Structure 1
Amino acid sequence: MNRILTLGKKSILGLGLLFFISVFTIGFFAGDKYGDVIPVLNKRLVPIYKVDRVDKKISITLDGTWGANYTEELLDIFEENDVKVTFFFAGYWLEKYPDLVKKIAVEGHDVENHTYTHPHCNSLSPEQIEDELERTSDLIEELIGKRPRFFRPPFGEYNNKVIETATGLDYQVVQWSLDSLDWQEPGVQYIVDRILNNVTSGEIVLMHNNAPHTPEALRILIPELKKRGFKIVPLSELVYKDNYYIQSHSGLQVRQKGAGDRN
């Protein structure tokens, strides 16, 4: 006579829980190895916060959403010091200052995507996020003839939905590793000290194009950073374009072993 094995509800629940824990554990460690390539069991996705580099390259990034009072002065400073940076603009800013956007691009700086209306993207549907991104990219392409490669979520706010939608549209999602806090108007020396005391290779520095202390801080920072051996480059020269993974616990972008040095 064949025996029929029967399981009670508690046994079934126990086996299910054991299976879930096993798969989650495997997925967690696999995720650290392969980064954002295969999200496992809704593992939390992260943007690029910093790049694993030893060549002392860093990027200065400036978000633009609420004005342009200091932008011409910033461009003069960058030209005087022969450095290129990256600007993240909201779509409505682009529409208000089209000639300035063109000048920024002509002078060799990156112009990237910061959504159209600067919303809280976590509260939007994937379709709404896509509209925010593509509407802004269309504007950038119309103005400078080139679509952006990078997207920075407003307020530094993101979730898996935001990252999955953006990466599905071929954007690399970028945050920052070092916040100058210039938007708080803490004073020039505070901004300078905050960056110089914390900067390391591969840093992504956050600043803002319309913060009043930013130009004077950069007049001090850029020569000092160069003196210390740092090379200031736009994100397109800092961030790896392919063959990389992102550490889920830190947001550090790491080059795959044996990969070429393509940005």
Structure 2
Amino acid sequence: MQNDQFFTRRRMLLAGAAALGAAGTAGAFLASGAGETTETAPAPVAGPQARQALKSSAFRLQPLTGDGPPRAAPRRLKTRREPILRISGRGRNMMLTFDDGPNPHYTPHILDTLAEYDVRAMFFVCGECVVKYRELVARMAEEGHVVGNHTWTHPLLTTLNRKEIRSEMERTSDIIEDTYGERPQWFRAPYGAWNRAAFQLGAEMGMEPMAWTVDTTDWDTPGTDVIIDRVEHGAAPGVVVLSHDAGGDRSQTVHAIREWLPHLLDSGYHLTVPRRRA
């Protein structure tokens, strides 16, 4: 998953970005990789129901200014020893996640498909992409998706020292907040390579570590049919699906989601996102 080389520099977000919505986090009952269920939090929001609850007044654009109020310190969380791999709770709930973006060639198509089927997802974004394509992150927030931290340059964290890891994570949280007024409450380590420093720093910054249950392997461009098959056969209550909207040629991902998303919905699954933690 090398960082994508972008061909054009799209316009920056004109005057602001969405300040409210489901860009925050803290899901329902979250299960750790060891199968333990963590503390109870508000129930996750199913995609279609979440859309119906949104009103046009739920989102507003704020001008980006350099002289705004100082950032509030995030609430420090308990440090985990392993990332969250799945969601738990009653019902046929699943969660869709996309990494490495935003990217102007693929992210808009994925957002269009999600909007067509009234579904919310999580996007783990890289800071160096956000600064180039702020308008796409603003759109994510406006349409009720959750935006998470995926570091600034997508490095292998296990090769960095603590100071370098902090910089990668903190800069990304800052640019996300500058874009639409909310700091991310979820973090995902690039390549799924976690270490103690990543868990500790994420907790200090108020972010829970999120991994995945089903890897579509779209990062390896295995073919559209393979991606569809991995999602449809991996579907189950509590599953977190990993896909990518950047980091390479993601045209297969764009085509595949148009097939497997309506299949999941027709099979009775609800695609959820975590609620924002107050």
Question: Do they fold alike, i.e. is TM over 0.5?
Answer: yes
Distance 1:146 1:171 in 2: 12
Partner of 2:261: 222
Superposition pairs of residues 1-80 of structure 1, within 5 angstroms: 45-65=81-101, 67-80=103-116
Amino acid at match of 1:202: G
Distance 1:187 1:174 in 2: 26
Partner of 1:205: 241
Q: Offset of 1:173 from its aligned partner?
A: 0.5
**Contact 1:112 1:148 (8 Å CA) reproduced:** yes
2:237 is paired with a residue whose SS is: coil
1:212-259 Cα distance to aligned partner (Å, 9 max, x none): 11122111111111111110122x24x9x7xxxxxxxxxxxxxxxxxx
Superposition pairs of residues 177-256 of structure 1, within 5 angstroms: 177-210=213-246, 211-234=250-273, 236-237=274-275
Partner of 1:141: 177
2:144 is paired with a residue whose SS is: coil
Question: Structure 1 216/169 Cα, relative in aligned 2: closer, same or farther at 3 Å?
Answer: same
Distance 1:50 1:81 in 2: 23
Question: Structure 1 58/152 Cα, relative in aligned 2: closer, same or farther at 3 Å?
Answer: same
**Percent identity between the two aligned chains:** 33
**Aligned residue pairs, count:** 205
**Contact 1:68 1:209 (8 Å CA) reproduced:** no
2:123 is paired with a residue whose SS is: strand
Distance 1:201 1:152 in 2: 21
Tell me how large the CA RMSD over aligned residues is. Answer: 2.6
Superposition pairs of residues 52-201 of structure 1, within 5 angstroms: 52-65=88-101, 67-201=103-237
Distance 2:158 2:196 in 1: 9
* TM-score, structure 1 as length reference: 0.71
Distance 2:37 2:262 in 1: 38
Distance 2:89 2:111 in 1: 27
* TM-score, structure 2 as length reference: 0.68
Distance 1:102 1:207 in 2: 20
Distance 2:162 2:177 in 1: 22
Distance 1:231 1:60 in 2: 10
Q: Offset of 1:154 from its aligned partner?
A: 0.7
Amino acid at match of 1:216: H
Instruction: Kindly name which structure, 1 or 2, has the bigger radius of gyration based on alpha carbons.
Output: 1
Distance 2:124 2:78 in 1: 28
Question: Structure 1 66/228 Cα, relative in aligned 2: closer, same or farther at 3 Å?
Answer: closer
1:112-139 Cα distance to aligned partner (Å, 9 max, x none): 1001121111122222222211111110
Q: Offset of 1:66 from its aligned partner?
A: 7.9
Question: Structure 1 32/190 Cα, relative in aligned 2: closer, same or farther at 3 Å?
Answer: closer
**Contact 2:86 2:239 (8 Å CA) reproduced:** yes
Distance 1:87 1:67 in 2: 12
Q: Offset of 1:108 from its aligned partner?
A: 1.3
Moved more, 58-67 or 215-224: 58-67
**Contact 2:103 2:133 (8 Å CA) reproduced:** no
Extract unaligned runs of 5+ from structure 1.
Answer: 1-30, 242-262
Q: Offset of 1:89 from its aligned partner?
A: 0.7
